[in-house]
């Protein structure tokens, strides 16, 4: 896929799937702007792949606007957006979860997605040009995982509903909005709440449960994102593409 002449914004682009998408899109000749709250790491990735880096807390409206205004000046009109930034906080059981934990996750994951999509739509409408947006959801938007994160699960389910609504409302203007729903992917977020001593056992459990027998790689998600942003997906909007190694298709029952 050739993205020559196109500019793409990636939030949460300093690591994991965002960094993999930045590398892939830059290799496809796109002008890529990485937005992340870890600006030092964003600069490191940007130097490695040939992108530009900007700092922002994605749940803070003022910071988002400042970063995007700088991107407008320095990168130019944006053709594609990958709203990928998100956090995961684990607190169990529900009756012990703090409201502060819930609010933090919803602020970054859901409010942050809203802010990015709103700013993307504003620019597409003002420019009177088509464009594409991809938002990061998760397999947990559809299927619960025992012992999972309540706030994270709720935020991802809401993102998929939000994507469908925006896609329908703006389809006539040539604006496409889709979601990507990863399963277990080798990223810092995947292991952020796992004690180091438990990682080997958890990895073996994932390998047992995933039909393909392994954890996914960030680049495998990045290819799906690139496709959704490309002209090869011009008739795809309001969809959620699952990249989970077959977990969602698997029944817990056996014959």
User: What would the two tokens of residue 77 be?
Assistant: 């009109």
Query: Phi and psi (nearest 5°) for 65?
Result: -65, -40
Longest Cα separation, the chain: 60
Contacts of 204 (CB under 8 A, 6+ apart): none
The tally of CA atoms less than 13 A away on the side-chain side of residue 246 is 11
Distance CA 166, CA 105 (A): 22
Asked about 54 being catalytic, the answer comes back as no
Q: Which helix (H) or strand (E) holds 156?
A: helix 150-170
Residue among 54, 152, 170, 235 flagged as catalytic? 152
Let me know: does 137 contact 115? Beta carbons within 8 Å: no
DSSP state string for 95-147: GG--HHHHHHHHIIIIIHHHHHHHHHHHHHHHHT--EEEEEE--GGGTS--TT
Q: Which of 55, 45, 38, 39 is nearest to 24 (CA)?
A: 45
User: What would the two tokens of residue 103 be?
Assistant: 């609010």
Just list the catalytic residues: 152
């Amino acid at each position: 896929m050739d993205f020559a002449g196109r500019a793409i914004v990636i939030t949460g682009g300093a690591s994991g799937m965002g960094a993999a998408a930045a590398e892939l899109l830059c290799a496809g000749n796109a002008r890529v702007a990485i937005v992340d709250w870890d600006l030092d790491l964003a600069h490191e990735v940007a130097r490695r792949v040939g992108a530009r880096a900007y700092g922002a807390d994605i749940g803070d409206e003022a910071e988002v606007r400042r970063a995007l205004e700088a991107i407008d000046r320095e990168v130019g009109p944006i053709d594609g957006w990958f709203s990928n930034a998100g956090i995961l906080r684990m607190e169990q059981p529900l009756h012990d979860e703090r409201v502060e934990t819930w609010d933090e996750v919803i602020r970054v994951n859901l409010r942050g997605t809203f802010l990015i999509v709103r700013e993307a739509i504003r620019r597409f409408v003002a420019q009177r040009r088509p464009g594409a947006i991809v938002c990061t959801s998760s397999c947990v938007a559809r299927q619960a995982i025992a012992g999972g994160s309540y706030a994270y699960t709720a935020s991802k389910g809401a993102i998929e509903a939000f994507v469908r609504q925006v896609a329908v409302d703006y389809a006539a203007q040539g604006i496409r909005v889709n979601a990507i729903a990863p399963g277990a992917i080798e990223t810092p977020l995947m292991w952020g709440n796992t004690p180091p001593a438990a990682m080997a056992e958890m990895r073996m459990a994932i390998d047992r449960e995933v039909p393909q027998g392994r954890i996914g790689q960030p680049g495998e998600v990045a290819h799906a994102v690139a496709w959704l942003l490309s002209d090869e997906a011009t008739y795809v909007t309001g969809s959620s593409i699952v990249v989970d190694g077959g977990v969602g298709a698997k029944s817990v029952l056996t014959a």
